[in-house]
Structures are given as structure tokens and as C-alpha cells.
Chain A
Amino acid sequence: MAWRPVAFLPLALAALGACADTSPDTGPDTASDRLLVTSGFTDQIFVLDAGTGQVLDSLALDRRPGERDEPHGIAVSGDGRHFYATLAHGEPSLWKYETEGLRLVGRVTLPTYGASRVRLSPDGSVAAVPDYWLSGGGEVSRIAFVRTHDLTVLATPEVCPAPHDAAFSADGRWIAVPCALSDEVVLLDGSDFSERARYSLAGLGPDAATGVRPLNAAWADDGEHFIVTLHRGGGLARVSATQGVTGWSFPADRPVQVAVNRTSSVMATANRGEGTVTLSYPDSSMRTVAIEGAHPHGVALAGDPVVAYVTFEGDTKTLGGVVAIDVTSGDILWRTEVGVFTLGVAYLPAVSSRFRANLP
């Protein structure tokens, strides 16, 4: 089944949350919009000016200074007042910060083996953290669902081997869970976290023996379709919540994160293997942008005009960092080297005026 990865893009994403005037997706055109990025090997979160890429601040999440803890996922609440980050190593944990003053206000140790991304329900009341248990030998692991108000762990359903993402649909009805070690995607019910469907992605890749290793998901605004990156297969799969896999393509090498902006005018995919970002448009056209930096990983889309913020991990000799890409032209707006093993990225609107200044 041939498929162009943008076929669903004209679908608009629904407005989220009860207070639209505080939604984070208000555009990066003011100087005080921020980016938050996780530096997995220095145990930090860096705060950047979204307009210029200037590094403004940093936060240490260093529970064990002699060991690596790996901040991995990061997400901003719908009202922009809090953000959440995961620590993948040691005993996995979820950290809660106030954006005002970048205050740490909570941390909960998760009853899981690992932690990768953190995703928030549309109303911001629940955080979902997959247990990416890569060394688990294919054993089934869990998603931790945490009530964000008081960081109570609500549920930890067993889902599949090494889930890497748990993405809520825009209406909060579904949660899409790509399962890295079983080549599946599992759909959970957003209201009670029970399993509603399980679709196999096995055999989609060019090499059935190695599998496709699905990693991340991004929903369309119809609450029905989503895209899954197939890291090992080098592709993308389009999945219908009710009908299963409806298409796939293999445009790039080792895609990691994928994001769709709120008006579905563009989809961006970070291709870790070949060092590029693929931009896909509603007219089925595509643009590939080369990144100066090893291993693109995280993607956030924001603003009007839309900007793609893409992290790159770096490698064992180079720094990680972030690039900002004008999705209309494909031009690199700025590039900043920051962090080591730079992974997650989240966009923070200008709701906070007071940032600590502890960087030289």
C-alpha cells in the first residue's frame, strides 16, 4: 500500500484545555518564548530563548553526581504553568517544575524499570511515562500514569515490551503506545487506561528479520489517525485508531520523534540515522533539511509562522544541541550547541517573566 505521510495533514487539531488564552501554542514571535531541552548525559535541562537560541538558564537534575541519570522526556502543561521531565536511569522518576522561577515543586519515583518520554493529557491532569525497558529481554513492561496535581501514581498497566511513547489524542480519548521490542502499537483508553486495540507493525520494514522498532507517535486532530516512527525500518506508519495500519512509507534513516503542528499544516520527523529532518506538507510535498549535528532526536513545532525545533544528540566527540527551522522555507533560523546527548524538547510560551540567571 503506497502512502504519502502527509495524507491526513489537512485535519485540524482541536483547541485544547479550558483556558485557550493560556495555551502554550501561541507563537514564538515574542522574545520571551522559551525552549526546554534535556541533556541526557549532563543531567540538566537547558532553557533557551526560542527566538534566538541563546541559552538563558539551566537546571540540574542530578540526584547522583557521580552517575548518569539521563533526563529524557519533557513536556509543558497546557496552561504553561508547569513542566515535567523524566529521569531514565537510576530509579526512574518524574520531576515537576513551576515555570515561574523554574522552581522544582515535586518528584515521584516511578514503579517502573525505565522511563522515556513524558506526555500530558489534553487537560494536563495526567502524565504518562512509558517504561522503555530495553534490556528487559522482550518482557512486557508498563506505562506509569501519574496525577499531575499531587504526583500520585494512578495506574501502571502492563502494555507491551519496551514502550517508548504514550501519546494522547487531541480529544484525550486515546493513548497511542508504540512498542519498540514487539513491533506493535497499542491503543489505551484515555479514561481508564485499559487496552482497546493492538495493531501489529511487524513486516512493514524492508528487513522482516530485524523488525521495525516503533518509537514515537503523533496524532492528527481528528482523534482517529496517528503517525508512528519505525526507527529500525526507517519509516513511518499511518494508523487508524479503529482500523489499524492504513499506510506506510520509508523515506528516511532511523526516524525518532515526529510532530504535527496544531493546524496540521506541517509534520516534522527527526531522522537520527541520516542527520536530517523531514518536513511534510498537506499537498504531499516533502522537504529534507540537513542538520549540522549528529543524530537528530526530538521535535517540537510551534508558532505562526511555524518553526520546527529539533534537538540533536551529538556523539561521543561532539556536543548535542538544537536547531530552529523555518518550516516554510526549510531555512535554519538558528543553531545552538547545548548539552550532551540532547534528547527532549518542549516549547514554553511567554507566561513567565522571571528566570533565574545562573549562567555566565
Chain B
Amino acid sequence: MLARRLHIALAAATLLAVVSSCSGPSEPLTPPHLEFSTPELDLGTLHEGQIDIRNTGGQAVGPVEFVVTLIRDANGATVPGSQVVIDPAELPTLNPGDARTLGVWLSVSGSLLPGEYDAAITARGGSETSAQTAVRFLVLSDAEAGVAHIDILSTQTDARMGDVVALPVEVRGADGSVLQGVPVSWSLDPADAGYVGSSGQFVAYDSGMATLVARAGLASDTIRLEVRDRGLEGTFSLVGRAEESDRYTADLWLHGTVAYAGTWGGRPVGALINRGNTLNVWDISDPAAAEQVSSLEIDARTVNDVKIRADGTLALITHEGSSDGGNGVTLLDLANPQAPAVISRFTEELQSGVHNVWIDGDYAYLVVDGVGNGLRILDISEPAVPNVVGRYWAGSSFLHDVYVRDGLAFLSHWNAGLVILDVGNGIVGGTPEAPIEVSRLADLGGQTHNAWYWPEAGYVFVGEEDFGTPGIMHVVDLRNVREPLEVATYSVEGQTPHNFWLDEATGTLYLAWYAQGVRALDVTGDLLGELDRQGREIQGLRYSGGFGSCNRPSQDTCAWAPQLHNGLLWVSDMNRGLVALQPPR
């Protein structure tokens, strides 16, 4: 049967190809033009539907990508943890006159409050054509009958921007009895004053007076809050630099009085293009006068990552694009921290390249490039003869980064999302030799790039590296490890994030944000909603980064990764090397 179908398909395709290839000269073709079948798709209460997209132009267009905005409530606030899903999310191509039907539905984690919501879908055919449609849907309360009274059980009169305020409510029937499970909707005045989460938590986005009205059935109650500015102060100040202008700088790691950084890609310098085949080493005893003390060349076109074991005796660096095709990792002896010495190179099962690495005691967690490869866990107790003891792949997409803490491995698994493994935590009995998946959160917008777990607060900060939309930072509530839930986001206009570092003592998250520099974000307390609207950003610093391409329009700042070390924030910058900053707090 399959063979017969293929014959038919091939015959049809052949006919099309022949007809196409034999057509003679023709009139100039009109450009491609995308159109949705309707300017507004009302999903009503069904929360699913269909819409057509058509190319009404005279030329093929592709790929056609569908970009969906975050869902906004009636107050205009985005709703974390829920999204509109388009299937397929991308069409390979649309020939002139062709149309495709798209499935549209809601992916809702947690409950949405009753009310109206909307989002926008943009179909993009490269830079040539785009089309937009709005998606609207309604969440109804089906338990409002009999509601006679609602009270907001809070006497709070003021709040600070960004702080989450609990606003419990009590709903009663006509007989005075308390009704349970009655959905409550909220309206704000002004409408953009903040966001109310599904459990009645409010977070303010602006200072001044905010009026919140809770409604259930025909009953309502009002609370007024005086919102004051978050009042954060502090600025970065430049302390010093560890310069690198011959190659693009990649990830960094600091230990003691030494800084190490990998190098990336090919950097044009005069007539040459210098490859990222080098580990650079600086003495940072005096951070204001860092001095390069050595460098180590390996067979690689990119040394994307370097990590030092906590005891400072051993380093791992990654190979991508090696000339011998082996790639893998090189293990370094740091008996002399300023002059790493090669102990061994390990390539088995790592030939497609290693992009990132994490060291946890006698185990190294390696990110192997490519779909189907995933994680390799290396026993490095004998660095001269490491061996693979554990493996994991999420079943789709590819692994990009790994972070290990408290026996949990946080896998940034690109379009498969955030995957959490037990590698010794005990929650499901996993070990480095036999990692076991605890949970995953796939709906993080795709392109899940990096993660940082803060066990004390119960949050994971997840980077979405998307140069198109662009990407944002997602905050995942992990107080229940088995049920991760997105609760907040943080975005910076025009750019996508890269790597993070958390100062847990002060609750300050440092985010490298490419051409938008390094951002210092206050992540103390409960986190909810859009953090970039809450006065939580202490400072976003764009510094003089020199010149380079960095694959971005900017010729200046190109922040790759931060690390807080001995009181200073060191930032690797692709164009400049390392930048040492006095943090803002």
C-alpha cells in the first residue's frame, strides 16, 4: 500500500516538476502575499478552532512561520503559563495559490479566571510578506448561580511594585453560606495597573492608586491600593577588563585568582579569520589589571564552554568543529592554575561535538550536539581514562545546556522544553548511571537554551534564545518538582537572552543579553507576571564592547555570560573578552 501511494505521489510530483520546468518565459511575477481567511478568530468558549492561510501572490514563499503573542487578559496584562498553539507552527513553503488549514487551540497550565482574552498570530514569510489575525476566547464561570455576596478578605492599603499581594475572597450565597470553587474575575483601574493571577494574587506594574474589583455573579467588592515604586537603586561600575580581540570570547569560568574563557567561531582580523580554537587564561589577582598568562590551543573551531571542578584541580573544555572529526572534551590538570595541562581527550560518543558541560563531583554532564544525542554523563574520577556511564535524550529536538544541583539535572532541551532529571536527588531513584526523568515543561516558547535553579526560592530561571521574536526569560515555579509551572516572564526589547548567574545572597539575577548588555534583576520574594514592568530591573548596562560582528547588528556590547566571583561580576563579551564590574548591590 505504501509503495503504491509513493508511486502515485511521485508520479504527481514528477508531472508537476516537468510542467514547471518546461514552462517558457513568463510575465514578471507578483510578489508573494499571505492572507488569513479572517482578521479575527473567535474561539468562544470552545478554546479551539481552525483558520486558513493562503498565498495570494504570484511567487512561492517559505518557510511561513507563525508567531503568537502571549495571551493578554481584558486589562492588557499577559498571562504566564498559558499560550495559543498553532499546528503546524511552521509551513515549509506555500506555492502561489496554495492554502493550508491551521489548527488553533489553547494550552492552559493552571486555571484562567473568567473573562475575555486575546492574542495575535503573525504569519511571516521571511521579510517579504506577513499577515496578522487576532484570536479571542472567553472563560465563563459555570458556578456563579446563587452568588449573593463577595468580600475581599484583605485590609491591605498599600503595596510595592513587583511584590505579590494575596487577595483572598469569600463568596457567599443568599442564605449566607460560604460557596467554594466559585470563579472570580477581576478588573483593574487603571487597566494596566498590574496583573491578577488565577488564585487572586495581585502584582502591581505601576505606582499610584490602583483599584481592583472582584466579581462573582452579580456580586462585587472593591479594594484600593496605594502602590509605591519598588525603589531599587544601584549601578554597575567598571573595575577592569581582561582583553581578547583576536578571537570571539565564549563562556567563562573563574576560580581563585584565575579566569578561563573559551573562544567561538571565526573572527576576522585583518586578512585572517581566527578560529575559536583556544582557551584563554588570565591572572585576575588584581581585577583592575587582569593579565593574560597563558592560552591553550586545541583541535576545535569553537571552545564553547569551560568548567572547573569545585576543588579547583580539574577543568573540562569542549570541542566543536575539530579537524579530526572527533570533537569531544579535553580534561585539564590545574596543578598550576595559570597553565592548564592536558590530561586526556575523550571523544567516544561525542563526535558530533560538545556544546556545554557541567561538573558535579566526579561526574561531568556533557551536552552532545544534534538531535538524538542528548546528555552523556562521564565518570571523571580518573581523568586520564574517563568513561561514559549515563545517557539521556528527551525523545525530540536536541539538548543545549545542562545545570546540576541537589541531585537534579536541569536540561535545556530546545524545542522539547525544560526537562528535569533525578541524578541522585532521590525523588524518583535516579543516579548518574541511570538518570530518571522527574518532569518536563514543554510549553516555554521553544528554543529553551539555559536554566538556573534556585532551590531556596523554588524557582528555575529559563532562557529562551530566539533571535526572531525575540526570546525572553521564563520563571518556572518548581516548589513541586513534579509539576513545574511558568509564573512569570522577563523581556528586553529587541534582543534575546543568553546565559544567567544568580547571586542567591541578594536575590539578584544577572542576565547576559547580547547587545543589550548585562541586566541586574531583583528576584526576591514571590514572582508573578511580567517582571520587566515591575521596577525589578536594577540596571541594564551596555558598555563599550569594542568592535566585532557577533552576528548581530550591534558592533558594540555583546554579552555572553556572567559570573559573580569574589564580589565582582565578570562578564564574557564576545567582542571584548572579559569585563569586570562592581555589581549594583
Contacts from A to B (Cβ < 8 Å): 17-19, 22, 40-42, 62, 64-68, 77-79, 81, 88-92, 96, 98, 103-109, 112-114, 123-126, 133-137, 141, 147-152, 154-155, 191-194, 294-295, 313, 315-317, 319, 340-341
Contacts and interface: CB of A to CB of B under 8 A. Distances in A.
A18 B321 contact: no
Interface string B297-318: 1011110000000000000000
23 contacts: A41-B302, A41-B321, A64-B465, A78-B21, A90-B398, A108-B63, A112-B371, A114-B370, A123-B17, A123-B18, A125-B16, A125-B17, A126-B13, A135-B352, A135-B368, A149-B16, A149-B17, A150-B93, A151-B92, A154-B6, A316-B299, A316-B300, A319-B273
Contacts of B301: 41, 316, 340-341
A340 B485 CA distance: 42
B17 A150 contact: no
Nearest to B350: A135
Contacts of A79: 20-21
Contact of B59 (A64, A65, A105, A149): A105
A40 B323 CA distance: 12
Contacts of A114: 352, 370-372
A32 B221 CA distance: 76
Nearest to A114: B370
A65 B514 CA distance: 11
A113 B370 contact: yes
Interface in B337-376: 349-353, 355, 368-373
Contact of B275 (A65, A113, A192, A317): A317
Contacts of A67: 355, 400
Given A315-B323, A316-B323, A341-B301, A135 B14 contact: no
Contacts of A105: 59-62, 93
Contacts of A152: 92
Contact of A125 (B10, B59, B300): B10
A107 B323 CA distance: 29
A150 B6 contact: no
B3 interface: yes
B90 interface: yes
B322 interface: yes
Interface string B210-239: 000000000000000000000000000000
Interface in B405-432: 414-415
Q: Give the size category of B's interface with A.
A: 35 or more
A91 to B, nearest CB: 6
B62 A151 contact: yes
A232 to B, nearest CB: 11
Interface in B44-83: 59-63
Contacts of A17: 21
A152 B12 CA distance: 13
Given A65-B552, A68-B265, A91-B415, 16 more contacts: A18-B22, A19-B18, A41-B265, A66-B551, A67-B355, A103-B59, A106-B92, A107-B90, A113-B373, A126-B10, A135-B370, A141-B372, A154-B10, A155-B6, A294-B323, A295-B323
B372 A191 contact: no
A96 B59 CA distance: 13
Contacts of B130: none
Given A64-B465, A105-B60, A151-B92, A133 B372 contact: yes
B280 interface: no
Contacts of A90: 371, 398, 414
A126 B11 CA distance: 11
